[in-house]
């Protein structure tokens, strides 16, 4: 399998985190999004969506969308329970992450890390919604170890990718101790080097 991705992108990191955890062998192909390498004719043949991550299986089939990819890779593993309701609860969070978390937390980070904007130059609407998303995460994890069920799952991978990088988008997790503790647990369970948040 090939993973086409940008190492700095949380969406792409979700895929490498999942593949590494499941010991799925892959070749990483660097795509520089700042050079529009995900918009070339050759890349658009693999995924007309023109974004990373994309995986290409050995038989040539391609799949885009980070959460679809990690769900596919995790099928049949401990990261994706077989119970349909548990799977649907995971999907609930995967859809929520893409609609209510990533466009605000990740995009604010993109503006600062990739485009070099200052914290003050972030878009107020995105900041407000990102803060709300992080607050909801704090509420949902209270009293629990993992977001769904009693083991680390693809829901935790989808959520941890950008949440552990939230400080790079100017967000402070100090007032969200449950989220901070969950990030540490997830990093340990998934074998990730802890991100320095200071």
Ligand X SMILES: N[C@@H](CCC(=O)N[C@@H](CS)C(=O)NCC(=O)O)C(=O)O
* Nearest CB to ligand X, comparing residues 112 and 145: 112
The answer to whether residues 105 and 167 touch, using CB atoms and an 8 Å cutoff, is: no
Closest CB 79 distance from ligand X, rounded Å: 17
Question: Radius of gyration of the chain from Cα atoms?
Answer: 16
* Nearest CB to ligand X, comparing residues 50 and 149: 50
Pairwise CA distance, residues 190 & 193, whole Å: 9
* Nearest CB to ligand X, comparing residues 33 and 141: 33
* Nearest CB to ligand X, comparing residues 101 and 176: 101
Q: Between helices 66-74 and 84-96, what is the axis angle to 10°?
A: 160
- Phi, psi dihedrals of residue 58, rounded to the nearest 5°: -60, -25
Closest CB 172 distance from ligand X, rounded Å: 22
Closest CB 177 distance from ligand X, rounded Å: 28
Residues 6+ apart with CB under 8 A from 65: 49
Beta bridge partners of 55: 3, 63
Q: Please identify the residue of the shown chain whose CB is closest to the bound ligand X.
A: 51
Beta bridge partners of 119: none
Closest CB 150 distance from ligand X, rounded Å: 26
Residues near ligand X, by CB under 6 A: 6, 9, 11, 33, 38-39, 50-53, 65-67, 98
* Nearest CB to ligand X, comparing residues 20 and 144: 20
Closest CB 54 distance from ligand X, rounded Å: 8
Q: Between helices 66-74 and 154-163, what is the axis angle to 10°?
A: 140
């Amino acid at each position: 399998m090939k993973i086409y991705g940008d190492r700095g992108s949380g969406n792409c990191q979700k895929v490498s985190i999942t593949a590494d955890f499941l010991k799925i062998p892959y070749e990483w192909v660097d795509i520089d999004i700042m050079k529009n390498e995900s918009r070339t004719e050759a890349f658009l043949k693999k995924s007309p969506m023109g974004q990373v991550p994309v995986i290409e299986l050995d038989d040539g089939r391609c799949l885009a969308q980070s959460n679809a990819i990690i769900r596919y890779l995790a099928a049949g593993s401990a990261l994706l329970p077989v119970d349909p309701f548990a799977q649907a609860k995971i999907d609930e969070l995967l859809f929520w992450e893409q609609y209510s978390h990533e466009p605000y937390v990740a995009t604010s980070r993109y503006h600062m890390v990739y485009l070099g904007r200052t914290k003050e130059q972030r878009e107020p609407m995105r900041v407000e919604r990102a803060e709300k998303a992080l607050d909801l995460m704090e509420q949902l994890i209270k009293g629990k170890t993992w977001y769904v069920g009693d083991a680390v799952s693809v829901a935790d991978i989808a959520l941890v990718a950008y949440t552990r990088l939230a400080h790079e988008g100017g967000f402070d997790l100090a007032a969200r101790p449950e989220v901070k503790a969950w990030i540490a647990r997830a990093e340990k369970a998934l074998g990730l080097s802890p991100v320095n948040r200071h």
